[in-house]
Amino acid sequence: MLREGEVRIPAGCAIAAVIDRSKTRFSCQKIVDALALMRERSNGLGGGIAAYGIYPQYADCYALHIFYDDNLCRQRVENDYLSRFEIALAEEIKTRKTRQVNRSPLIWRYFIKPRLCEYDDPEQDMMVTFIMEINSQNLGAYVFSSGKNMGAFKGVGFPEDIAEFFCLEDYQGYLWTGHGRFPTNTPGWWGGAHPFCLLDWSVVHNGELSSYGTNRAYLEMFGYKCSLQTDTEVIAYAFDLMVRRHGLPLEYAVQAACPPFWKQIDADQDQNRQQLARTIRMVYSSLLLNGPFSIVLATGRGMMGLNDRIKLRPMSVATQGELMAIASEEVAVLAMCPQPDNIWQPEGGVPALGLLKGESSLWH
C-alpha cells in the first residue's frame, strides 16, 4: 500500500458531482466514469464518493458510517455511546476485497434516532456534539458520515477502486459527489479521504487553505473539534455554523467564505449593499477561506460549486435537462452530461448552484 512520502506525484485533486434535479435516482456509473477520466489528478492515497437518496427505507434516521480499528473498539462505542439512541439497524457495510483495496478498517453503519427526552439541545446540535465526542476521544473509531438518507464511502485508493470496494453499483441516488485525493500536507488515511461530511453536509475539495489555522481557531470557539488532519473539514464546519446554526442565507455565507476584495466593496455605489458586505466581512472575517480552492458543497437539497476569488483551481459546470454536473475538468463534465444544454466555467467567487425542484436553499 502506498504511504505518504513514498510517492509524490505532482498533480491536483479531482472533484466531481452530478445531480438530477427532479430527484430521479440513478446509479454511480456517471460519477465513477467522471472520476476515472481524471485519474492522473490523484495518486491512490485517498478517494471517495458521497450519495444522496440511497437509504429511502430509513429516511428518518441518521445514517452513521463508522471506521473501527477492531471489534473491541466497536463494542466499546456501541455499549458506551450508541446505547443513547434508538437503533433501527446495525450492520457491517458490504465490501469486496479487490487487488487495489485489500486492507481496510472495520466499516459499520447504524440507522439511529435520538431519544430527545434525554437532551436539552436541538436534535442536530446534539448529533454534532455526539459525533465530535467520538471522533476526538481516541476510541479507535471514526464517524465519517452522519446524514439522513445519504452516505459517504471513502478510503485509501483511487476513487473508482473505492467504488468497487464498497459495491456502489448496488446503490441508487439522485445526487453523487466524488473526489480523487492528492494529499497536500496531510497523510493518506481512511478517515482523511474526501468527501468530508457532517450531518447532511458533504464537501469535496481541490486545493489548499492557507487560512486553516485561523478558520480552525474560530470554529473551535463554537464547539467544533477539528481532528481529521485535513483543511477540508473547516469548510463543512464553517457552512454548518453560518447556515444551520446562525441562519444565514446561503448567499451571505458564500460572501463570508469567499468575499469581494475591500477595493471592490469600497467602489460599490449601492450603500446598502456596501454596508452589508462590510458587515459580513467584519463579523465573519475568521471564516474567510484563503488560498487556491475549488469545492463542491452538497446537502440533500442540492449542491454548490465554488472557486476561490481569483480562480486558482479549475472548475467546469454543465446542465442537460434535469441533470447538472460539476467537475475539475470539462472532459469529466461531459462524461456526466454528454449532450449539454449549457457548459461554462464559473468565475472566481461566483457559486454554481444546483437545487432540487421546489427548493430555494441548500438548507431548511
Global pTM value: 0.94
Q: Which residues contact 186 (CB under 8 A, 6 or more apart)?
A: 4, 192, 229, 230
Q: What is the pLDDT of residue 289?
A: 95
Tell me how crowded residue 307 is: count the other CB atoms within 10 A of its CB. 25
Q: What is the pLDDT of residue 296?
A: 97
CB 362 within 8 A of CB 355: yes
Q: What is the pLDDT of residue 138?
A: 85
Under 8 Å between Cβ of 243 and 199: no
Assigned C-alpha cell, 281: 466581512
Please name the CATH architecture into which domain 14-355 falls. 4-Layer Sandwich (3.60)
3-state SS of the chain is CCCECCECCCCCCEEEEEEECCCCCECCHHHHHHHHHCHHHCCCCCEEEEEECCCHHHCCCEEEEEEECCHHHHHHHHHHCHHHEEEEEEEECCCCCCCCCCCCCEEEEEEEEECHHHCCCCHHHHHHHHHHHHHHCCCCEEEEECCECEEEEEECCCHHHHHHHCCHHHCCECEEEEEECCCCCCCCCCCCCCCEEECCEEEEEEECCCCHHHHHHHHHCCCCCCCCCCCHHHHHHHHHHHHHHCCCCHHHHHHHHCCCCHHHHHHCCCHHHHHHHHHHHHHCHHHCCCCCEEEEEEECCEEEEEECCCCCCCCEEEEECCEEEEECCHHHHHHHCCCCCEEECCCCCCCEEEECCCCCCCCC
Which value, to the nearest 10 degrees, does the dihedral of the CA atoms of residues 147, 153, 155, 158 take?
A: -140
Q: What sign does the CA torsion over 181, 150, 128, 67 have? A: negative
Beta bridge partners of 152: 50
The pLDDT score that the predictor gives to residue 348 is 93
Residues designated catalytic: 13
Q: What is the mean pLDDT of each run of 10 residues along the chain (364 residues)?
A: 50 89 98 95 90 98 97 96 95 92 92 74 89 92 96 94 96 97 67 92 93 94 85 92 95 94 93 95 96 95 96 95 97 98 96 95 84
CA distance 6 to 29: 31
pLDDT at 118: 54
CB 81 within 8 A of CB 212: no
